[in-house]
A and B are shown apart, each in its own frame.
Chain A
């Protein structure tokens, strides 16, 4: 799928869990380094993942509460 046919980016906040991102987006570090991603990603919101910025399931252990 090329960029033009991609839909507008959508951020879905999963309750007590990660942020699901789909659609047309790019992921970068503060200084500009681009991180390659799949078409759908799950970003850690709990601060506890060992695989940041992605969710690794640790939110259950950390006890993230919305």
Chain B
């Protein structure tokens, strides 16, 4: 289990967030900044929208960084639920697929598919299905995006 994992609850559901799998693809905060705002602490505000809206966005997270479950008897649930995405089958699917690089508006490069990464020290980095590379120059976790592009107000889009 990810020791940095956090949970956020309202009366109905508990949202779990695993920073280690979050690739800052920006899906959640582009769609629902009232709830998912990386500039705020805590960054997820469960009072910012209806439970239905929050579930909607959690389901759209491209990784399993965000998951949710219904609270039992109004109690905050301790255990993160199993991910909706099945890691095994996704790996199979991605195998031999060309890597797809998406240039996110005002954000990182999001890469999906079969690929390898070689770090700036010449060492291969661990194999991943999906990752986001910083393209704003401000990340503290180079070469990956850590969400800093928002604070930097990086603007660029090719759409």
Cβ of A5 under 8 Å from chain B: no
Q: Which candidate, B9-17, B32-40, B104-112, is the interface stretch facing chain A?
A: B104-112
Residue of chain B at shortest CB distance from A3: B98
CA distance A33 to B158 in the complex (A): 8
- Which bracket fits the contact residues of B? 20 to 34
Cβ A13 vs Cβ B120 within 8 A: yes
Within the complex, which residue of A26, A29, A47, A66 is in contact with B138, where a contact is CB–CB below 8 Å? A47
The docked-state distance in angstroms from the alpha carbon of A3 to that of B113 is: 15
CA distance A31 to B113 in the complex (A): 18
Instruction: Give the residue of B103, B113, B115, B121 whose beta carbon is less than 8 angstroms from that of A29.
Output: B103
Is B81 an interface position by the 8 A CB rule?
no
Interface size on A, residues (CB 8 A): 37
Verify B158–A11 contact, CB threshold 8 A.
no
B137 pairs with A64, CB closer than 8 A: yes
User: Cβ of A19: which chain B residues have Cβ within 8 Å of it?
Assistant: 109, 133, 143
Having A8-B114, A27-B103, A43-B133, one finds 13 other A-B pairs with CB under 8 Å, namely A10-B118, A11-B99, A11-B115, A12-B118, A19-B133, A28-B101, A29-B105, A35-B158, A43-B109, A45-B135, A45-B143, A59-B137, A62-B137
